[in-house]
Structure 1
Protein backbone atom coordinates (compact mmCIF):
# COMPACT_ATOMS: atom_id res chain seq x y z
CA UNK A 1 0.00 0.00 0.00
CA UNK A 2 1.18 3.53 -0.81
CA UNK A 3 -0.16 6.33 1.36
CA UNK A 4 1.54 9.59 0.38
CA UNK A 5 0.67 13.27 0.44
CA UNK A 6 -0.53 12.94 -3.15
CA UNK A 7 -2.47 9.67 -3.27
CA UNK A 8 -3.42 6.39 -1.63
CA UNK A 9 -2.97 3.27 -3.76
CA UNK A 10 -3.43 -0.33 -2.73
CA UNK A 11 -3.22 -3.69 -4.49
CA UNK A 12 -5.61 -6.44 -3.35
CA UNK A 13 -5.27 -10.13 -4.25
CA UNK A 14 -7.53 -11.75 -6.82
CA UNK A 15 -10.55 -13.47 -5.21
CA UNK A 16 -10.51 -17.23 -4.86
CA UNK A 17 -10.84 -19.03 -8.19
CA UNK A 18 -10.21 -15.92 -10.29
CA UNK A 19 -6.42 -15.81 -10.40
CA UNK A 20 -6.26 -17.17 -13.99
CA UNK A 21 -8.38 -14.19 -15.04
CA UNK A 22 -7.44 -11.40 -12.61
CA UNK A 23 -3.93 -10.22 -11.74
CA UNK A 24 -5.13 -8.08 -8.85
CA UNK A 25 -7.74 -5.69 -7.57
CA UNK A 26 -6.77 -2.17 -6.52
CA UNK A 27 -8.08 1.02 -4.99
CA UNK A 28 -6.99 4.59 -5.67
CA UNK A 29 -7.86 7.83 -3.92
CA UNK A 30 -6.46 11.35 -4.07
CA UNK A 31 -7.53 14.78 -2.86
CA UNK A 32 -5.11 16.50 -5.25
CA UNK A 33 -6.77 18.47 -8.03
CA UNK A 34 -4.34 17.56 -10.83
CA UNK A 35 -1.94 14.64 -11.39
CA UNK A 36 0.09 13.96 -14.53
CA UNK A 37 1.88 10.64 -14.90
CA UNK A 38 2.59 7.77 -17.30
CA UNK A 39 1.04 4.30 -17.16
CA UNK A 40 3.28 1.44 -18.32
CA UNK A 41 2.17 -0.97 -21.04
CA UNK A 42 -0.35 -2.90 -19.00
CA UNK A 43 -3.00 -5.56 -19.28
CA UNK A 44 -6.69 -4.67 -19.62
CA UNK A 45 -8.23 -2.77 -16.71
CA UNK A 46 -11.82 -2.54 -15.53
CA UNK A 47 -12.19 0.74 -13.62
CA UNK A 48 -14.97 2.45 -11.69
CA UNK A 49 -14.68 6.19 -11.02
CA UNK A 50 -16.87 7.44 -8.18
CA UNK A 51 -15.20 10.84 -8.25
CA UNK A 52 -12.85 12.60 -10.66
CA UNK A 53 -11.92 12.06 -14.26
CA UNK A 54 -8.98 10.72 -16.27
CA UNK A 55 -7.75 11.32 -19.79
CA UNK A 56 -4.97 9.40 -21.51
CA UNK A 57 -2.89 9.93 -24.64
CA UNK A 58 -3.27 6.56 -26.31
CA UNK A 59 -0.37 4.86 -28.11
CA UNK A 60 -0.81 5.43 -31.83
CA UNK A 61 -2.94 8.54 -31.35
CA UNK A 62 -6.27 9.56 -29.89
CA UNK A 63 -7.43 10.32 -26.39
CA UNK A 64 -9.00 7.88 -23.94
CA UNK A 65 -11.45 9.18 -21.35
CA UNK A 66 -12.77 7.70 -18.14
CA UNK A 67 -16.43 7.18 -17.28
CA UNK A 68 -18.15 5.83 -14.19
CA UNK A 69 -17.55 2.24 -15.37
CA UNK A 70 -15.21 1.55 -18.25
CA UNK A 71 -12.44 -0.65 -19.62
CA UNK A 72 -8.94 0.45 -20.44
CA UNK A 73 -8.08 -2.20 -23.02
CA UNK A 74 -4.57 -3.67 -23.10
CA UNK A 75 -1.91 -0.99 -23.52
CA UNK A 76 0.84 -2.01 -25.91
CA UNK A 77 3.16 0.88 -24.98
CA UNK A 78 3.38 3.36 -22.11
CA UNK A 79 0.76 6.11 -22.17
CA UNK A 80 0.72 9.55 -20.45
CA UNK A 81 -2.41 10.33 -18.44
CA UNK A 82 -3.96 13.24 -16.56
CA UNK A 83 -6.17 12.96 -13.48
CA UNK A 84 -8.60 15.70 -12.47
CA UNK A 85 -9.31 15.21 -8.79
CA UNK A 86 -10.35 14.62 -6.19
CA UNK A 87 -10.45 10.99 -7.35
CA UNK A 88 -12.01 7.95 -5.76
CA UNK A 89 -11.73 4.81 -7.86
CA UNK A 90 -11.44 1.04 -7.80
CA UNK A 91 -10.14 -1.32 -10.43
CA UNK A 92 -9.62 -4.86 -11.63
CA UNK A 93 -6.46 -5.75 -13.52
CA UNK A 94 -7.29 -8.53 -15.97
CA UNK A 95 -4.88 -11.15 -17.28
CA UNK A 96 -4.64 -11.88 -21.00
CA UNK A 97 -6.90 -14.88 -20.43
CA UNK A 98 -9.30 -12.75 -18.40
CA UNK A 99 -9.69 -10.12 -21.12
CA UNK A 100 -10.21 -12.81 -23.77
CA UNK A 101 -12.80 -14.72 -21.71
CA UNK A 102 -14.66 -11.60 -20.63
CA UNK A 103 -14.67 -9.59 -23.85
CA UNK A 104 -13.84 -11.98 -26.72
CA UNK A 105 -12.11 -9.03 -28.39
CA UNK A 106 -8.72 -9.52 -30.11
CA UNK A 107 -6.06 -7.30 -28.57
CA UNK A 108 -4.52 -6.34 -31.91
CA UNK A 109 -7.90 -4.86 -32.93
CA UNK A 110 -9.13 -3.44 -29.64
CA UNK A 111 -5.97 -2.55 -27.72
CA UNK A 112 -4.98 1.00 -26.77
CA UNK A 113 -8.43 2.44 -26.14
CA UNK A 114 -11.08 3.11 -23.51
CA UNK A 115 -14.51 1.51 -23.80
CA UNK A 116 -17.60 2.04 -21.67
CA UNK A 117 -18.76 -1.05 -19.79
CA UNK A 118 -21.80 -1.41 -22.05
CA UNK A 119 -19.55 -1.66 -25.12
CA UNK A 120 -17.90 -4.78 -23.73
CA UNK A 121 -20.46 -6.48 -21.47
CA UNK A 122 -24.09 -7.45 -21.83
CA UNK A 123 -26.81 -5.30 -20.29
CA UNK A 124 -27.21 -6.82 -16.81
CA UNK A 125 -23.46 -6.99 -16.21
CA UNK A 126 -22.92 -3.45 -17.45
CA UNK A 127 -25.79 -2.20 -15.28
CA UNK A 128 -24.26 -3.84 -12.22
CA UNK A 129 -20.99 -2.06 -12.90
CA UNK A 130 -22.55 1.35 -13.42
CA UNK A 131 -24.41 0.98 -10.11
CA UNK A 132 -21.11 0.65 -8.21
CA UNK A 133 -19.88 4.22 -8.75
CA UNK A 134 -22.83 6.00 -7.08
CA UNK A 135 -22.77 3.49 -4.21
CA UNK A 136 -19.09 4.23 -3.64
CA UNK A 137 -19.63 7.97 -4.01
CA UNK A 138 -22.50 7.98 -1.49
CA UNK A 139 -20.58 5.92 1.07
CA UNK A 140 -22.79 2.83 0.80
CA UNK A 141 -19.64 0.78 0.11
CA UNK A 142 -15.93 1.47 0.49
CA UNK A 143 -13.32 1.20 -2.26
CA UNK A 144 -12.39 -2.37 -1.33
CA UNK A 145 -16.04 -3.34 -1.43
CA UNK A 146 -16.38 -1.74 -4.84
CA UNK A 147 -13.42 -3.73 -6.17
CA UNK A 148 -14.96 -6.92 -4.78
CA UNK A 149 -18.27 -6.24 -6.54
CA UNK A 150 -16.39 -5.59 -9.77
CA UNK A 151 -14.61 -8.92 -9.44
CA UNK A 152 -17.97 -10.69 -9.09
CA UNK A 153 -19.16 -9.06 -12.31
CA UNK A 154 -16.03 -10.39 -13.98
CA UNK A 155 -16.72 -13.86 -12.56
CA UNK A 156 -20.28 -13.84 -13.93
CA UNK A 157 -19.20 -12.49 -17.32
CA UNK A 158 -16.49 -15.03 -18.15
CA UNK A 159 -17.11 -17.20 -21.17
CA UNK A 160 -15.29 -20.47 -21.94
CA UNK A 161 -12.29 -20.25 -24.25
CA UNK A 162 -11.24 -23.00 -26.61
CA UNK A 163 -8.93 -25.42 -24.76
CA UNK A 164 -6.15 -24.87 -27.28
CA UNK A 165 -6.34 -21.13 -26.70
CA UNK A 166 -6.15 -21.57 -22.93
CA UNK A 167 -3.14 -23.83 -23.44
CA UNK A 168 -1.48 -21.28 -25.70
CA UNK A 169 -1.93 -18.42 -23.20
CA UNK A 170 -0.79 -20.44 -20.18
CA UNK A 171 2.24 -21.92 -21.91
CA UNK A 172 3.21 -18.55 -23.30
CA UNK A 173 3.30 -17.14 -19.76
CA UNK A 174 5.38 -20.12 -18.59
CA UNK A 175 7.72 -19.55 -21.52
CA UNK A 176 8.03 -15.83 -20.73
CA UNK A 177 8.83 -16.74 -17.15
CA UNK A 178 11.64 -19.05 -18.19
CA UNK A 179 14.07 -16.35 -19.34
CA UNK A 180 14.29 -12.66 -20.10
CA UNK A 181 15.00 -13.67 -23.71
CA UNK A 182 13.27 -17.02 -24.29
CA UNK A 183 13.80 -18.73 -27.64
CA UNK A 184 10.73 -18.34 -29.87
CA UNK A 185 11.46 -21.70 -31.51
CA UNK A 186 11.02 -23.37 -28.12
CA UNK A 187 7.46 -22.09 -27.80
CA UNK A 188 6.62 -23.06 -31.38
CA UNK A 189 7.86 -26.57 -30.70
CA UNK A 190 6.07 -26.92 -27.36
CA UNK A 191 2.75 -25.77 -28.80
CA UNK A 192 3.17 -27.62 -32.08
CA UNK A 193 2.52 -24.46 -34.07
CA UNK A 194 4.12 -22.95 -37.11
CA UNK A 195 5.70 -19.51 -36.82
CA UNK A 196 2.75 -18.01 -38.69
CA UNK A 197 0.17 -19.67 -36.43
CA UNK A 198 1.97 -18.51 -33.30
CA UNK A 199 2.26 -14.96 -34.64
CA UNK A 200 -1.50 -14.86 -35.27
CA UNK A 201 -2.35 -16.09 -31.78
CA UNK A 202 0.13 -13.74 -30.12
CA UNK A 203 -1.45 -10.81 -31.92
CA UNK A 204 -4.91 -11.94 -30.85
CA UNK A 205 -4.17 -12.48 -27.15
CA UNK A 206 -1.19 -10.17 -26.57
CA UNK A 207 -1.51 -7.55 -29.30
CA UNK A 208 1.95 -8.06 -30.81
CA UNK A 209 3.79 -10.67 -32.87
CA UNK A 210 5.84 -13.11 -30.82
CA UNK A 211 9.05 -11.06 -30.75
CA UNK A 212 7.09 -8.00 -29.64
CA UNK A 213 5.56 -9.98 -26.77
CA UNK A 214 9.06 -10.88 -25.55
CA UNK A 215 10.23 -7.28 -25.86
CA UNK A 216 7.29 -5.84 -23.93
CA UNK A 217 7.44 -8.29 -21.03
CA UNK A 218 11.21 -8.09 -20.84
CA UNK A 219 11.00 -4.32 -20.44
CA UNK A 220 8.31 -4.50 -17.76
CA UNK A 221 10.14 -7.21 -15.82
CA UNK A 222 13.46 -5.39 -16.13
CA UNK A 223 11.96 -2.14 -14.91
CA UNK A 224 10.37 -3.79 -11.89
CA UNK A 225 13.61 -5.53 -10.97
CA UNK A 226 15.72 -2.37 -11.37
CA UNK A 227 13.27 -0.40 -9.24
CA UNK A 228 13.62 -2.86 -6.36
CA UNK A 229 15.49 -1.11 -3.50
CA UNK A 230 16.96 -4.51 -2.52
CA UNK A 231 18.38 -5.17 -5.97
CA UNK A 232 21.58 -7.21 -5.90
CA UNK A 233 24.54 -6.66 -8.21
CA UNK A 234 24.08 -10.19 -9.57
CA UNK A 235 20.46 -9.60 -10.52
CA UNK A 236 21.28 -6.21 -12.06
CA UNK A 237 23.92 -7.92 -14.20
CA UNK A 238 21.40 -10.49 -15.42
CA UNK A 239 19.05 -7.72 -16.48
CA UNK A 240 21.68 -5.66 -18.28
CA UNK A 241 23.01 -8.81 -20.01
CA UNK A 242 19.58 -9.24 -21.60
CA UNK A 243 20.22 -6.18 -23.81
CA UNK A 244 22.83 -5.36 -26.42
CA UNK A 245 23.98 -2.28 -24.54
CA UNK A 246 22.82 0.34 -22.07
CA UNK A 247 21.27 2.55 -24.75
CA UNK A 248 19.17 -0.39 -25.95
CA UNK A 249 17.98 -1.08 -22.40
CA UNK A 250 17.13 2.56 -21.69
CA UNK A 251 15.20 2.96 -24.94
CA UNK A 252 13.18 -0.21 -24.46
CA UNK A 253 12.32 0.38 -20.81
CA UNK A 254 11.27 3.95 -21.57
CA UNK A 255 9.09 2.83 -24.47
CA UNK A 256 7.11 0.41 -22.31
CA UNK A 257 7.18 2.13 -18.91
CA UNK A 258 7.48 5.80 -19.84
CA UNK A 259 10.59 6.17 -17.70
CA UNK A 260 14.30 5.62 -17.99
CA UNK A 261 15.84 3.18 -15.47
CA UNK A 262 17.15 6.10 -13.37
CA UNK A 263 13.61 7.43 -12.94
CA UNK A 264 12.10 4.16 -11.73
CA UNK A 265 12.85 4.93 -8.07
CA UNK A 266 11.80 8.56 -7.61
CA UNK A 267 12.23 10.43 -4.33
CA UNK A 268 8.47 10.63 -4.01
CA UNK A 269 5.79 8.11 -5.07
CA UNK A 270 4.44 8.16 -8.61
CA UNK A 271 1.37 6.18 -9.58
CA UNK A 272 2.94 4.93 -12.81
CA UNK A 273 5.90 3.48 -10.93
CA UNK A 274 3.67 1.94 -8.26
CA UNK A 275 1.80 -0.04 -10.92
CA UNK A 276 5.08 -1.82 -11.69
CA UNK A 277 5.02 -3.40 -8.24
CA UNK A 278 4.88 -7.19 -8.05
CA UNK A 279 1.40 -6.98 -6.50
CA UNK A 280 0.00 -6.02 -9.88
CA UNK A 281 1.09 -9.17 -11.69
CA UNK A 282 -0.40 -12.62 -11.23
CA UNK A 283 0.76 -14.71 -14.16
CA UNK A 284 4.16 -13.16 -14.82
CA UNK A 285 6.93 -13.89 -12.36
CA UNK A 286 8.86 -10.67 -12.58
CA UNK A 287 11.91 -12.12 -10.81
CA UNK A 288 12.24 -15.36 -12.75
CA UNK A 289 15.51 -14.54 -14.45
CA UNK A 290 17.56 -17.55 -13.43
CA UNK A 291 18.62 -18.16 -17.03
CA UNK A 292 20.26 -14.73 -17.16
CA UNK A 293 18.82 -13.82 -20.57
CA UNK A 294 21.99 -13.51 -22.64
CA UNK A 295 20.38 -13.71 -26.09
CA UNK A 296 19.37 -10.12 -26.91
CA UNK A 297 16.35 -9.56 -29.14
CA UNK A 298 16.06 -6.41 -31.26
Structure 2
Protein backbone atom coordinates (compact mmCIF):
# COMPACT_ATOMS: atom_id res chain seq x y z
CA UNK A 1 0.00 0.00 0.00
CA UNK A 2 1.13 3.60 -0.53
CA UNK A 3 2.09 5.74 2.45
CA UNK A 4 -0.88 8.02 1.78
CA UNK A 5 -3.35 5.20 2.39
CA UNK A 6 -2.91 5.19 6.15
CA UNK A 7 -1.96 1.50 6.13
CA UNK A 8 1.06 0.43 8.14
CA UNK A 9 3.38 -2.48 7.52
CA UNK A 10 4.95 -4.34 10.47
CA UNK A 11 8.43 -3.10 9.53
CA UNK A 12 7.28 0.48 10.13
CA UNK A 13 6.17 -0.17 13.73
CA UNK A 14 8.46 -0.31 16.76
CA UNK A 15 6.92 -1.11 20.14
CA UNK A 16 8.86 -1.69 23.34
CA UNK A 17 7.42 -2.29 26.80
CA UNK A 18 9.14 -1.79 30.14
CA UNK A 19 8.40 -3.06 33.64
CA UNK A 20 7.87 -0.11 36.01
CA UNK A 21 10.32 0.46 38.88
CA UNK A 22 9.26 -1.42 42.05
CA UNK A 23 8.11 1.73 43.85
CA UNK A 24 5.66 2.48 41.03
CA UNK A 25 4.61 -1.11 40.26
CA UNK A 26 1.33 -1.11 42.25
CA UNK A 27 0.21 1.97 40.34
CA UNK A 28 1.60 1.48 36.81
CA UNK A 29 1.32 -1.77 34.85
CA UNK A 30 3.87 -0.84 32.18
CA UNK A 31 5.82 1.88 30.43
CA UNK A 32 5.94 1.70 26.65
CA UNK A 33 7.62 3.36 23.69
CA UNK A 34 5.96 3.44 20.26
CA UNK A 35 7.38 4.64 16.97
CA UNK A 36 6.01 4.55 13.42
CA UNK A 37 7.69 6.08 10.36
CA UNK A 38 4.50 6.24 8.31
CA UNK A 39 3.45 9.71 7.08
CA UNK A 40 -0.22 9.05 7.84
CA UNK A 41 -1.55 6.49 10.28
CA UNK A 42 -5.19 5.55 10.87
CA UNK A 43 -6.21 2.70 13.13
CA UNK A 44 -8.23 1.84 16.23
CA UNK A 45 -7.22 1.87 19.87
CA UNK A 46 -8.95 -0.85 21.89
CA UNK A 47 -10.61 -0.15 25.22
CA UNK A 48 -7.93 -0.39 27.88
CA UNK A 49 -6.66 1.06 31.14
CA UNK A 50 -6.02 4.73 31.83
CA UNK A 51 -2.84 6.11 30.26
CA UNK A 52 -0.47 9.06 30.40
CA UNK A 53 1.12 9.66 26.99
CA UNK A 54 4.01 11.96 26.02
CA UNK A 55 4.01 12.88 22.32
CA UNK A 56 7.61 13.02 21.12
CA UNK A 57 7.08 13.44 17.38
CA UNK A 58 4.09 13.92 15.07
CA UNK A 59 0.55 15.05 15.83
CA UNK A 60 -2.98 13.80 15.41
CA UNK A 61 -6.49 13.34 16.72
CA UNK A 62 -8.33 10.73 18.74
CA UNK A 63 -12.06 10.25 18.20
CA UNK A 64 -14.01 8.36 20.84
CA UNK A 65 -17.08 6.22 20.22
CA UNK A 66 -19.43 9.03 21.28
CA UNK A 67 -18.02 11.28 18.55
CA UNK A 68 -15.83 13.48 20.76
CA UNK A 69 -12.55 14.30 19.02
CA UNK A 70 -9.39 15.48 20.78
CA UNK A 71 -6.11 16.90 19.50
CA UNK A 72 -3.11 15.52 21.30
CA UNK A 73 -1.49 17.82 23.88
CA UNK A 74 2.26 17.70 24.61
CA UNK A 75 1.25 15.11 27.21
CA UNK A 76 -2.25 13.68 27.58
CA UNK A 77 -4.16 11.64 30.11
CA UNK A 78 -6.72 9.06 28.97
CA UNK A 79 -9.28 7.65 31.33
CA UNK A 80 -10.19 3.94 31.31
CA UNK A 81 -11.61 2.93 27.93
CA UNK A 82 -15.11 1.50 27.79
CA UNK A 83 -15.18 1.54 23.99
CA UNK A 84 -12.64 1.76 21.19
CA UNK A 85 -11.29 5.04 19.84
CA UNK A 86 -10.11 5.92 16.32
CA UNK A 87 -6.83 7.75 15.83
CA UNK A 88 -5.59 9.70 12.82
CA UNK A 89 -1.93 10.67 13.02
CA UNK A 90 0.42 12.73 10.88
CA UNK A 91 3.81 11.06 11.13
CA UNK A 92 6.49 10.13 11.53
CA UNK A 93 5.13 9.52 15.00
CA UNK A 94 6.71 8.66 18.33
CA UNK A 95 5.24 8.50 21.80
CA UNK A 96 6.20 7.33 25.27
CA UNK A 97 3.63 6.44 27.87
CA UNK A 98 2.44 4.41 30.79
CA UNK A 99 -0.67 2.45 31.69
CA UNK A 100 -2.15 3.01 35.14
CA UNK A 101 -3.68 0.23 37.20
CA UNK A 102 -7.16 0.87 38.68
CA UNK A 103 -5.43 1.62 41.98
CA UNK A 104 -2.90 3.83 40.20
CA UNK A 105 -5.42 5.98 38.36
CA UNK A 106 -7.13 7.08 41.56
CA UNK A 107 -3.96 7.23 43.68
CA UNK A 108 -2.08 9.33 41.12
CA UNK A 109 -4.87 11.64 39.94
CA UNK A 110 -7.04 11.86 43.05
CA UNK A 111 -10.07 11.58 40.76
CA UNK A 112 -12.72 8.87 40.25
CA UNK A 113 -11.97 6.76 37.19
CA UNK A 114 -15.54 6.85 35.88
CA UNK A 115 -15.42 10.63 35.51
CA UNK A 116 -12.62 10.23 32.96
CA UNK A 117 -13.88 7.10 31.17
CA UNK A 118 -13.52 7.51 27.39
CA UNK A 119 -12.05 10.99 27.85
CA UNK A 120 -8.72 12.58 27.00
CA UNK A 121 -7.42 15.69 28.77
CA UNK A 122 -4.17 17.57 28.96
CA UNK A 123 -2.18 15.92 31.75
CA UNK A 124 -1.41 19.36 33.16
CA UNK A 125 -5.04 19.55 34.35
CA UNK A 126 -4.17 16.95 36.98
CA UNK A 127 -0.38 17.19 37.34
CA UNK A 128 0.30 20.89 36.75
CA UNK A 129 2.70 22.67 34.41
CA UNK A 130 5.61 20.49 35.52
CA UNK A 131 4.47 17.55 33.44
CA UNK A 132 4.09 19.75 30.34
CA UNK A 133 7.59 21.15 30.83
CA UNK A 134 8.92 17.60 31.14
CA UNK A 135 7.10 16.64 27.93
CA UNK A 136 8.78 19.50 26.04
CA UNK A 137 12.18 18.49 27.44
CA UNK A 138 11.60 14.91 26.29
CA UNK A 139 10.57 16.03 22.81
CA UNK A 140 13.63 18.28 22.33
CA UNK A 141 16.01 15.70 23.79
CA UNK A 142 14.65 12.87 21.63
CA UNK A 143 15.08 15.00 18.52
CA UNK A 144 18.67 15.69 19.56
CA UNK A 145 19.25 12.04 20.46
CA UNK A 146 20.32 13.01 23.96
CA UNK A 147 17.84 11.03 26.09
CA UNK A 148 17.07 7.32 26.23
CA UNK A 149 13.75 5.65 26.97
CA UNK A 150 15.25 4.36 30.22
CA UNK A 151 16.01 7.94 31.27
CA UNK A 152 12.45 9.01 30.42
CA UNK A 153 11.14 6.17 32.60
CA UNK A 154 13.38 7.29 35.47
CA UNK A 155 12.41 10.96 35.18
CA UNK A 156 8.70 10.20 34.85
CA UNK A 157 8.85 7.91 37.88
CA UNK A 158 10.56 10.60 39.98
CA UNK A 159 7.93 13.12 38.87
CA UNK A 160 4.93 10.91 39.65
CA UNK A 161 5.94 9.46 43.02
CA UNK A 162 5.08 12.62 45.04
CA UNK A 163 1.56 12.56 43.58
CA UNK A 164 0.66 9.15 45.03
CA UNK A 165 -2.20 9.44 47.50
CA UNK A 166 -3.00 6.93 50.21
CA UNK A 167 -5.88 4.58 49.37
CA UNK A 168 -7.81 2.89 52.22
CA UNK A 169 -6.74 -0.70 52.85
CA UNK A 170 -10.27 -2.03 52.41
CA UNK A 171 -10.48 -0.31 49.02
CA UNK A 172 -7.22 -1.98 47.97
CA UNK A 173 -8.74 -5.30 49.01
CA UNK A 174 -11.80 -4.59 46.85
CA UNK A 175 -9.56 -3.72 43.87
CA UNK A 176 -7.72 -7.03 44.30
CA UNK A 177 -11.01 -8.94 44.49
CA UNK A 178 -12.38 -7.34 41.34
CA UNK A 179 -9.09 -7.80 39.48
CA UNK A 180 -9.01 -11.49 40.35
CA UNK A 181 -12.64 -11.85 39.28
CA UNK A 182 -11.97 -10.17 35.92
CA UNK A 183 -8.99 -12.45 35.32
CA UNK A 184 -10.68 -15.64 36.49
CA UNK A 185 -12.18 -16.72 33.16
CA UNK A 186 -13.17 -15.60 29.69
CA UNK A 187 -16.73 -14.79 30.71
CA UNK A 188 -16.79 -14.09 34.48
CA UNK A 189 -20.14 -14.25 36.25
CA UNK A 190 -21.21 -10.77 37.35
CA UNK A 191 -23.08 -12.08 40.38
CA UNK A 192 -19.92 -13.82 41.59
CA UNK A 193 -18.06 -10.58 42.20
CA UNK A 194 -20.85 -9.19 44.40
CA UNK A 195 -20.78 -12.40 46.44
CA UNK A 196 -17.07 -11.84 47.13
CA UNK A 197 -17.46 -8.25 48.37
CA UNK A 198 -18.76 -7.65 51.90
CA UNK A 199 -20.73 -4.53 51.01
CA UNK A 200 -24.17 -3.71 49.72
CA UNK A 201 -24.63 -4.11 45.98
CA UNK A 202 -25.00 -0.36 45.46
CA UNK A 203 -21.88 0.47 47.49
CA UNK A 204 -19.84 -2.21 45.73
CA UNK A 205 -20.94 -0.92 42.33
CA UNK A 206 -20.10 2.67 43.29
CA UNK A 207 -16.59 1.72 44.42
CA UNK A 208 -15.96 -0.46 41.38
CA UNK A 209 -16.92 2.45 39.11
CA UNK A 210 -14.69 4.73 41.19
CA UNK A 211 -11.58 2.62 40.58
CA UNK A 212 -12.30 0.73 37.34
CA UNK A 213 -14.39 3.32 35.54
CA UNK A 214 -17.42 1.09 34.94
CA UNK A 215 -19.89 -1.30 36.54
CA UNK A 216 -19.10 -5.03 36.85
CA UNK A 217 -21.36 -5.85 33.89
CA UNK A 218 -19.56 -3.33 31.67
CA UNK A 219 -16.18 -4.68 32.80
CA UNK A 220 -17.28 -8.23 32.01
CA UNK A 221 -18.34 -7.19 28.50
CA UNK A 222 -15.12 -5.28 27.92
CA UNK A 223 -12.71 -8.04 28.93
CA UNK A 224 -14.77 -10.78 27.29
CA UNK A 225 -14.57 -8.92 23.97
CA UNK A 226 -10.87 -8.10 24.34
CA UNK A 227 -9.97 -11.69 25.21
CA UNK A 228 -12.02 -12.94 22.29
CA UNK A 229 -10.26 -10.53 19.92
CA UNK A 230 -6.88 -11.62 21.28
CA UNK A 231 -7.66 -15.23 20.40
CA UNK A 232 -8.92 -14.26 16.96
CA UNK A 233 -5.70 -12.39 16.07
CA UNK A 234 -3.47 -15.14 17.46
CA UNK A 235 -2.03 -17.17 14.55
CA UNK A 236 -1.41 -20.06 16.94
CA UNK A 237 -5.02 -20.27 18.18
CA UNK A 238 -6.51 -23.71 17.63
CA UNK A 239 -9.96 -24.34 16.13
CA UNK A 240 -11.07 -25.41 19.60
CA UNK A 241 -9.98 -22.07 21.08
CA UNK A 242 -11.81 -20.16 18.36
CA UNK A 243 -14.94 -22.25 18.93
CA UNK A 244 -14.76 -21.48 22.63
CA UNK A 245 -14.60 -17.76 21.84
CA UNK A 246 -17.71 -17.99 19.69
CA UNK A 247 -19.55 -19.81 22.47
CA UNK A 248 -19.08 -16.83 24.82
CA UNK A 249 -21.69 -14.83 22.91
CA UNK A 250 -25.40 -15.35 22.29
CA UNK A 251 -24.87 -15.64 18.55
CA UNK A 252 -22.57 -14.37 15.81
CA UNK A 253 -24.21 -10.92 15.46
CA UNK A 254 -23.77 -10.43 19.22
CA UNK A 255 -20.08 -11.37 18.97
CA UNK A 256 -19.56 -8.98 16.05
CA UNK A 257 -21.23 -6.08 17.88
CA UNK A 258 -19.29 -6.60 21.10
CA UNK A 259 -15.88 -7.03 19.50
CA UNK A 260 -16.43 -4.04 17.24
CA UNK A 261 -17.55 -1.87 20.17
CA UNK A 262 -14.45 -2.58 22.26
CA UNK A 263 -11.82 -2.95 19.51
CA UNK A 264 -13.17 -0.80 16.68
CA UNK A 265 -13.22 -3.61 14.14
CA UNK A 266 -15.42 -6.61 13.40
CA UNK A 267 -13.87 -10.06 13.88
CA UNK A 268 -13.50 -10.46 10.13
CA UNK A 269 -11.61 -7.16 9.83
CA UNK A 270 -9.10 -7.75 12.62
CA UNK A 271 -6.55 -9.16 10.18
CA UNK A 272 -6.97 -6.47 7.50
CA UNK A 273 -4.14 -4.19 6.33
CA UNK A 274 -5.39 -1.20 8.31
CA UNK A 275 -5.39 -2.91 11.71
CA UNK A 276 -1.70 -3.71 12.10
CA UNK A 277 -1.25 -1.39 15.07
CA UNK A 278 -4.49 -2.59 16.66
CA UNK A 279 -3.20 -6.17 16.39
CA UNK A 280 -0.02 -5.20 18.23
CA UNK A 281 -2.10 -4.01 21.20
CA UNK A 282 -4.38 -7.07 21.03
CA UNK A 283 -1.57 -9.62 20.74
CA UNK A 284 -1.34 -12.23 23.46
CA UNK A 285 2.11 -10.89 24.46
CA UNK A 286 0.57 -7.49 25.18
CA UNK A 287 -2.88 -8.51 26.43
CA UNK A 288 -1.80 -9.04 30.01
CA UNK A 289 -1.17 -5.28 30.08
CA UNK A 290 -4.86 -4.72 29.34
CA UNK A 291 -5.74 -6.72 32.42
CA UNK A 292 -6.42 -4.91 35.65
CA UNK A 293 -3.34 -4.98 37.85
CA UNK A 294 -4.06 -7.40 40.73
CA UNK A 295 -3.03 -5.07 43.49
Name the Cα RMSD after superposition.
Answer: 2.4
Partner SS state of residue 27, structure 1: strand
Using the TM superposition, give the Cα deviation of residue 216 of structure 1 relative to its aligned residue in structure 2, in angstroms: 0.7
Report what 2:27 is aligned to: 21
Report what 1:240 is aligned to: 246
Report what 2:183 is aligned to: 177
Q: Is the 8 A contact 2:45 2:87 kept in 1?
A: yes
User: 2:273, 2:108 → 1: CA distance?
Assistant: 38
Q: Is the 8 A contact 1:22 1:282 kept in 2?
A: no
Using the TM superposition, give the Cα deviation of residue 138 of structure 1 relative to its aligned residue in structure 2, in angstroms: 2.4
Partner SS state of residue 25, structure 1: strand
Using the TM superposition, give the Cα deviation of residue 3 of structure 1 relative to its aligned residue in structure 2, in angstroms: 8.3
Q: Specify which of 163, 167, 178 is matched with residue 173 of structure 2.
A: 167
User: 1:143, 1:81 → 2: CA distance?
Assistant: 24
Q: Specify which of 248, 259, 264 is matched with residue 265 of structure 2.
A: 259
Report what 2:120 is aligned to: 114
Return 154-163 or 62-71, whichever deviates more. 154-163
Report what 1:290 is aligned to: none
Q: Specify which of 159, 169, 172 is matched with residue 153 of structure 1.
A: 159
1:193 aligns to 2:196 (yes or no): no
Using the TM superposition, give the Cα deviation of residue 204 of structure 1 relative to its aligned residue in structure 2, in angstroms: 1.6
Instruction: Give CA deviations for 1:70-129 in whole Å, capped at 9, x if unaligned.
Output: 212222100111111121221111122211111122122122222222111145455444
User: 2:54, 2:137 → 1: CA distance?
Assistant: 10
Partner SS state of residue 20, structure 1: coil
Report what 2:37 is aligned to: 31
Q: Is the 8 A contact 2:10 2:276 kept in 1?
A: no
Under a length normalisation based on structure 2, what TM-score does the superposition of the two structures give? 0.87
User: 1:13, 1:153 → 2: CA distance?
Assistant: 17
Report what 2:5 is aligned to: none
Report what 1:85 is aligned to: 91
Using the TM superposition, give the Cα deviation of residue 213 of structure 1 relative to its aligned residue in structure 2, in angstroms: 1.1
Cα gap change, 1:111 to 1:284, in 2 (>3 Å): closer
Q: Is the 8 A contact 1:11 1:24 kept in 2?
A: yes
Structure with the largest fraction of helix:
2
Report what 1:137 is aligned to: 143
What are the ranges of 5 or more consecutive residues in structure 1 without an aligned counterpart? Answer: 286-298
Q: Specify which of 73, 78, 97 is matched with residue 79 of structure 2.
A: 73
1:7 aligns to 2:13 (yes or no): yes
Q: Specify which of 204, 218, 222 is matched with residue 216 of structure 1.
A: 222
Using the TM superposition, give the Cα deviation of residue 35 of structure 1 relative to its aligned residue in structure 2, in angstroms: 0.6
User: 1:3, 1:142 → 2: CA distance?
Assistant: 25
User: 1:269, 1:75 → 2: CA distance?
Assistant: 18
User: 2:231, 2:203 → 1: CA distance?
Assistant: 32
Q: Is the 8 A contact 1:92 1:147 kept in 2?
A: no
Cα gap change, 1:79 to 1:145, in 2 (>3 Å): same
Report what 1:284 is aligned to: 291
Cα gap change, 1:211 to 1:69, in 2 (>3 Å): same
User: 1:270, 1:29 → 2: CA distance?
Assistant: 13
Instruction: Give CA deviations for 1:210-236 in whole Å, capped at 9, x if unaligned.
Output: 211110111111111221111122322
Report what 2:49 is aligned to: 43
User: 1:149, 1:49 → 2: CA distance?
Assistant: 15
Using the TM superposition, give the Cα deviation of residue 253 of structure 1 relative to its aligned residue in structure 2, in angstroms: 0.6
User: 1:76, 1:268 → 2: CA distance?
Assistant: 22
